[in-house]
Amino acid sequence: MTQNGPPDAATDRTYDRRSILTGAGSIAVGGLIGSSGVATATPSREPGPKRDEIIVGISPSTADVAGEARAAIPGDADVVHANESIHYAVVSFPSDAPAHARDEFIDAITSSPAIEYAEPNVTIESLLEPDDPYYDHQHAPQQIDCESAWETTRGSEDVVISVVDQGIQYDHPALEAVVDDRIGEDFIDNDGDPYPAHGAEHGTHVGGIAAGGTDDGTGHAGVSDCSLLSVRALNENGVGSLSDIADAIQWSADAGADIINLSLGVDGSYDTLTSACEYAADRGVLLVGAAGNDGDNRVYSPAAEDTVVAVSAVESDDSIASFSNTGSAIELAAPGSRIISSVTGDDYLQMSGTSMAAPVVSGVAGLALSAYPDLSRTELREHLRATAVGVGLADDEQGYGRVDAGAAVETDPFSDSSDGADNQESPGECGDETITASASDTLDGSGWWGDSDRYSYSLHTDDPCSITVSLEGPSSGDFDLYVSTDGRSPTRWDHDEAASGSGTSGSITLSLDGGEAFGLQVHANSGSGEYTLRLEEHGR
């Protein structure tokens, strides 16, 4: 279908803010969503990125997160925020304290039996590479074959994509028809109105790529016409705190989002972000993250999390974008260079970055879920992988391939591929086809809580029938092995099978009906050193 070309960039970017949110916050708009589990922050706490704050992870068995944190901290620190759903509290630290005092504080507080971890409340930023503000035409929808997908569906309003970002201009002419009735939530000013600050264009651009105005004679064409939630967690400079991002992810999951787009990132791994992403994934949400824009062989968090689809950026000719990060965590590639979309002030611009590639995948996921609403999170993720197109890039650049909207919508994930089975040979014995995998790392179980690593594994045999996961730990150690059979990351409290307290070794064997994806956790209760995890998959 032919799309109208977007107008030239306007020079006057002033606009009126539409006052449509009322009451104590957007949770009350359009009907109650339910308790957010996020405690009110200290009134004097500054919005946006936080300095001199430490996030303290509290045991899930603790009923009062803030109270437990207060009991563990010394008198010169204060609990300024708590999240009861993903079990953490934020503690302020005196700004004039020396660096060694912060380290000593973390060592001291983690000695409490109820404290799982302590880490700085780091700053997370948007992953955008600015580009020429003028443009001639769009290429991303054509490149991923949206036209074929749109013949079947342009996206259902029942499919909700939450954009955790700077906020979306929800009265933008290209977007107002697809914004969810509840609008969203604000974690920067905490005023319930997730409208972006003047000039904060990133969130509106990202939202407009995932959804907005397909074939409506206005501006650009988004990948889908699914519903958008505007969740403001980055300020006008495109940065936000770890705690705000975690709260925004948790809120989106509780609000019923089907897909959460995370066009933001930070170098490194943080337990608070891991917990937030696991919380959403455990509630059936597909999370999509931008890989990063350093052009390096590393993937930023949260994209690097096992629960998140990591997306790299390609050019219009499907070559890898020079700015795109790569790495073994890359799952899908998508157009991310010179992408045209909506921005604040009722305008349109070209922007580049893995920030732009991620919402292309989110939009395609929305189209696929609109066409096949019974897909689970794991099935949707597998379907996007299975219908991606290899474009000749290395695995650490494209993952399973460049996302393809046409194939994702036109390929039935539930089709019976056994047509003509009467003419096929009868299935062989379980074990005729064997695939093995292994991983090794080092864990330290000498602390009171121990140490854990998590892995994910998708089945590869044509007709899987059993799987055995075995663990060999260092001598004098005590290691646990936990397994989940639906792809989610298992924990000590939430798993399907376990071999726990088995000393230096453990093994789990499961019979399969086919199609499962596995999550694995190795936990060291005592002892330290290198362990080896081995997986043997059997098929017929």
**Helix crossing, 377-386 with 354-371: angle to 10°?**
110
- Interval 224-261: pLDDT, tens: 999 999 999 999 999 999 999 999 999 999 999 999 99
Indicate the residue type of 398: Q
| Amino acid 48: pLDDT | 67
Nearby residues of 393 by Cβ (< 8 Å), 6 or more positions away: 314, 318, 319, 320, 333
- C-alpha span between 256 and 244 (Å, rounded): 19
CB-count exposure of residue 88 (10 Å: 0-12, 13-18, 19+) = buried
CATH architecture, domain defined by 37-121: 2-Layer Sandwich (3.30)
Domain range list for the chain:
37-121, 124-410, 433-539
- Interval 145-204: pLDDT, tens: 888 898 899 999 999 999 999 999 999 999 999 999 999 999 998 888 999 998 899 999
Nearby residues of 100 by Cβ (< 8 Å), 6 or more positions away: none
DSSP, residue by residue, 432-471 = SEEEEEEEEEEEE--SSS-EEEEEEEE--SSSEEEEEEEE
- CATH number for the domain formed by residue range(s) 124-410: 3.40.50.200
- Interval 422-440: pLDDT, tens: 444 455 778 777 888 788 8
Give the catalytic positions in this structure: 165, 202, 355
| Amino acid 330: pLDDT | 96
Is the pLDDT reported for residue 276 higher than 80?
Answer: yes
Let me know the angle formed at the C-alpha of 420 by 419 and 424, rounded to the nearest 5 degrees: 125
Of residues 174, 120, 370, 101, the one with CA closest to residue 258 = 370
Name 240's bridge partners: 124
- C-alpha span between 406 and 385 (Å, rounded): 13
Is the pLDDT reported for residue 463 higher than 90?
Answer: no
Among 73-77, 89-93, 285-289, where is mean pLDDT lowest? 73-77
| Amino acid 99: pLDDT | 72
Let me know the angle formed at the C-alpha of 189 by 185 and 193, rounded to the nearest 5 degrees: 40
- C-alpha span between 367 and 230 (Å, rounded): 19
DSSP, residue by residue, 266-284 = BSS--HHHHHHHHHHHHTT
Of residues 161, 244, 167, the one with CA closest to residue 205 = 167
- CATH number for the domain formed by residue range(s) 433-539: 2.60.120.380
Among 19-33, 142-156, 322-336, where is mean pLDDT lowest? 19-33
